[in-house]
Amino acid sequence: MRDSEHLIQDRSAGTADGPQDGSVQDGSTRDGASPRRIPRPGTPSQESPPQESPQDGALQAVLFDMDGLLIDSERLWLRVEFEIMEWLGGTWSEEHQKRLVGGSVDVAVAYMLELTGARVPPAEVGRRMMGRMVETLAAGVELMPGAAGLLAEVAASPVPAALVSSSHRHVIEAALGSIGRENFALTVAGDEVPRTKPAPDPYLAAAARLGVDPARCVVLEDSPNGVAAAEAAGCVTVAVPGVLPIPAAPGRTVVGSLREVDLARLRSLVGEPRP
């Protein structure tokens, strides 16, 4: 996922009813794709059955971010950005990339065109960038350390899991082949909510669709934007810092990697009593 102190914008290209017009004409953002309607809170989801009311104090759901947490997408973005900048006649570095963490496709395209002075329509640059990223993800990507084990442990338990990403639907779909669609009761994409991270909307939507209390959910995130979204939604948060640092804070757990996290630890974070 992308985050930036300098260039942060709302990465959502649309609302729950569809995308808004922007300089990337297909409605994509740097996290990418086509809109889907999300049911209003309380509306039964076709993607997962209603959950039984869990016992008081129990962990009700685990909500996973995708980019930077489950997959090393920043490395993939860097490769794609190098290609795009070469096509535009310029050069790219990791320092350029850091300025765009959390920004939209429009922000990235504008920055690249400013650096190169290339006279290329922004929409064409955006389409080319997102197309290359989807191709890269669809070819397969390795999971981050500890991700496979934690996903499998949660999937084997009665606790439902959701993938909650700022990436757009077609980017998520391209990555699910590597991450494992079967690991999630549902997925929420950035173009399926009125506002995406750092707003709480994605996590509130996931909790509503699962029929659970956000305060009894644990969110795993790698970026300051994602942590802000999870905490604004009232969720218990575990931060696994990626490109940008995430400081410790009251009620926030910061770990070095997903290898330090298991289901028992997630249960303890919501105060679930031991059996």
- Enumerate the active-site residues: 65, 67
Rounded to the nearest angstrom, the gap between the alpha carbon of residue 164 and the centroid of all alpha carbons in its chain is: 5
Contact criterion met (CB below 8 Å) for 162 and 220: no
**Phi and psi at residue 135, to the nearest 5°:** -60, -40
**Phi and psi at residue 237, to the nearest 5°:** -125, 135
Residue 149 structure tokens? 């084990």
Residue 147 structure tokens? 């991700």
Burial-class residue 273 by CB neighbours within 10 Å (0-12, 13-18, 19+).
exposed
Q: In the block, which residue shows the tokens 């300051």?
A: 224
- Integer Cα distance of 113 and 83 in angstroms: 14
Helix intervals (H) in the chain? 73-88, 94-98, 105-116, 122-138, 147-155, 169-179, 201-210, 224-232, 263-269
Neighbours of 141 (CB within 10 A): 19
List beta partners, residue 62. 161, 218
Contact criterion met (CB below 8 Å) for 102 and 11: yes
Contact criterion met (CB below 8 Å) for 23 and 109: yes
